[in-house]
Amino acid sequence: DDNGLDVDEGANMTPAEITDLISQLTLEEKASLCSGGDSWHLQTVERLGIPGPMVTDGPHGLRKVADGSMAGIYDSVPATCFPTAAGLASTWDPELVHDIGVALGEETRAESVSVLLGPGINMKRSPLCGRNFEYFSEDPVLAGTLATELVRGIQSQGVGTSLKHFAANNQETDRLRVNAEIDERTLREIYLPAFEMVVKQADPWTVMCSYNAINGVYSSQNRWLLTELLHEEWGYKGLVISDWGAVVNRVEGLRAGLDLEMPGDAPRNDARIVEAVRSGDLDEEILDTAVARILSLIARASAAMADPGSYDIEAHHQLARRAAAASVVLLKNDGDVLPLIDPDDVVVIGEFARTPRYQGAGSSKVNPTRVDTALDSLRQTWDDVPFAPGFTLTDHPDPQLADEAVSLSRGKTAVLFLGLPAVAESEGYDRTNTDLPTDQIDLLARVRKVASHTIVVLSNGSSVGTAEWDDQADAIVECWLGGQASGSGVIDVLTGKVNPSGHLAETITRKLSDIPAQLNFPGEFQHVTYGEGRYIGYRGLDATEREVAYPFGHGLSYTTFAYCDLDLLVRPVSDETAQDETVLTVSFTVSNTGDRAGATVPQVYLGFPDATVDRCVRELKAFLRVELDPGESRSITIDLTRRDLSYWDILLHSWTVEPGTLRVEVGISSRDLPLTGEVILDAPTVRHPLRRDSTVAEWMDADEEFAAKVRRATEQTGIDLDSDPTTAAFILAMPAYKMLQMAPIMTPEELDKMLGD
């Protein structure tokens, strides 16, 4: 049968071939293609040889369930478990993330899976979100840049991705039905840019819509989100897939731009689609568009399906180890207690050293090809390092285990592997606090009293508060949920084989209540208001001038770096300047001033002190990772575009720049910015279209005739706008049409005429 998609091995189908194939499908067959064949496959049409490729979770490893059902979610084929997104984000290393993408793509392909369901790039609005381990950052530039590389890497192997969860799925509480109330500017500047970046730069084969509603409309049937924004504005050509069970009204969803419902099989919804077309309620062209996108996906997948290939399990494990080490963030290293040098001085404490926690619970849980423990890894070099578990991973404190750990630590450098037990965080629910379990904090305090030094090594997916016990630790090492090689990866860092270069992708606050979003998290009565607006993460903490435990971007190294010679070059912006044109060039020099090779991550933040609109104190605009030998210097040049300088103007509905001062800060965290400079940006003054309710001041500014009339009328009543500031303020702030009620300088109709209505 030469109509089937699988005959033309590898080649994508041309639009003409797709149109031709659609014309051969019955209405029922077209509707059936719009839901899966089962939980993890697309629907087939055997008559025409249309195959049903497989899609599986995702995102930091493949979770291909053995029997193809929804049941047995942890019964999947072995696959390499790479660090979760929380770890990957801490690498600030797009190249490494790309390499991991390639490996994930190879595994996906080798298992004959066509789409890996990830990455998840929702913003970390609150550290309490149970799924933060699966998300990258509180900052959209960092999340978007890294996710772009992950998608490019995966898709370089002829398989697809599913960028999720589009959009505003920033909590687990009530995730299936919560309505997130978010203002336009906040959506545009915080919750959408990472999606926009990945869509425009990496063309993910699919985008997965979220469960929740945004401003009253479920994502699965939000036409603005799925069609106007995604396809029309961002130019997306791929396919929108529902999160598993996100469909509420299937026909409404199709009309809004939701192409594929998952999981299948959904015969009742397929029948509804047929019926809506027959009754004239649904334009058949809309159905054809969805089918065309689904067939294009199948065509895109055909080459890999025909030739799955294989992958090197050992090489991928080594990559996972490199990634785990790169994910480690050295938060604190007082007195340079790290790296460890004397095997006879070290004792290992904590159950996590033997039973690592390296990934989170829920749909992303991978069945690893193997698991390295920190204890085994350390004993490979230092074979009789003593160990005591100190606590159990249940809720029950065990005094005897604690006693043993304390006596073992006496006079030694105690390396304590602490962290969150699995039940503390998961897909499906949020946390209620950011605390480490009390028995672990108590153990640390006791060990501290007898040990010569204490080093805390943390495993957790969402951030944990450190302020309560920070003074009990000489060093703190954050590993996140670092994947199957997290044990060996962290030992590489602790022993100095790898010089740490991870940086925080999220702020660690002193108190949970320091975070503005907590006032509105997770909401109630199925409703959450994003009342803090753009002020999540460091944006909020900088605005409220809160002390933090460890700032966004922070991460220590075993060597030292110096930053100098900031140089700024700004070009004028005109109405013709394109969004992606370079407007500001930031140059500076970084040097390795220590005695070890290492990597630093310069971060470029912008502030807008003259802005007439509300602006955050600083926002990350660019970063890069620079590897330097001891004594080596490198000059760095970073170009920022018009878009990088813009805010989203809710009256113009566009990215807008204002003239005035640009404050540029370069440094190694949002709170450690050794280089600061200012330049004046020359740009046209922002003009908003006049409305009836524009203020008198705005009208006078924009319209000479109107201004003259106001001046005449005020003079006649004895008011001098120039010498009477109080009265002037009162009048100038009034909406124009309201002023007309008091000073009839023209009729409302004449005002409307001036608007050109």
Asked if 36 and 262 count as a contact pair (C-beta separation under 8 A), the reply is yes
Amino acid at site 591: S
Asked if 731 and 742 count as a contact pair (C-beta separation under 8 A), the reply is no
Minimum CB–partner distance for residue 63 and ligand BGC (Å): 8
Quick one: angle between helices 94-110 and 313-327, nearest 10? 150
d(CA 639, CA 64): 42
d(CA 17, CA 186): 42
Quick one: angle between helices 486-494 and 374-381, nearest 10? 50
Asked if 695 and 733 count as a contact pair (C-beta separation under 8 A), the reply is yes
d(CA 613, CA 578): 22
Minimum CB–partner distance for residue 96 and ligand BGC (Å): 23
**170 vs 440 by CB, closer to ligand BGC:** 170
- Spatial CA neighbour of 117 closest among 4, 246, 277: 246
Minimum CB–partner distance for residue 340 and ligand BGC (Å): 39
d(CA 728, CA 707): 13
Minimum CB–partner distance for residue 210 and ligand BGC (Å): 8
663 in helix, strand or coil?
Answer: strand
4 in helix, strand or coil?
Answer: coil
CA torsion through residues 160, 166, 168, 172, sign: negative
- Active-site residue flag, 243: yes
**164 vs 316 by CB, closer to ligand BGC:** 164
**117 vs 297 by CB, closer to ligand BGC:** 117
C-beta nearest to ligand BGC: residue: 363
Catalytic residue among 93, 243, 372, 430: 243
**164 vs 188 by CB, closer to ligand BGC:** 164
Which residue ranges make up the site for ligand BGC (CB under 6 A)?
57-58, 117, 164, 243-244, 363
Minimum CB–partner distance for residue 80 and ligand BGC (Å): 18
**75 vs 614 by CB, closer to ligand BGC:** 75
The two tokens of residue 737 are: 């049409």
Distance, C-alpha 439 to centroid of its chain: 33
d(CA 632, CA 102): 31
Q: Count of CB atoms within 10 A of residue 112's CB?
A: 15
**60 vs 317 by CB, closer to ligand BGC:** 60
The residue count for the chain: 757
**206 vs 466 by CB, closer to ligand BGC:** 206
- Spatial CA neighbour of 32 closest among 317, 208, 291: 291
d(CA 439, CA 516): 30
Minimum CB–partner distance for residue 57 and ligand BGC (Å): 5
Phi, psi of 159 (to 5 degrees): -120, 165
**125 vs 412 by CB, closer to ligand BGC:** 125
Amino acid at site 523: G
Q: How many CA atoms lie within 13 A of 342 on its CB side?
A: 8
Minimum CB–partner distance for residue 261 and ligand BGC (Å): 13
Distance, C-alpha 48 to centroid of its chain: 40
Asked if 115 and 161 count as a contact pair (C-beta separation under 8 A), the reply is yes
Find out whether the peptide bond into 630 is cis, omega within 30 degrees of 0: no
Minimum CB–partner distance for residue 116 and ligand BGC (Å): 10
Minimum CB–partner distance for residue 118 and ligand BGC (Å): 7
**169 vs 591 by CB, closer to ligand BGC:** 169
| 189 secondary structure, DSSP code | I
Catalytically active residues, by annotation? 243
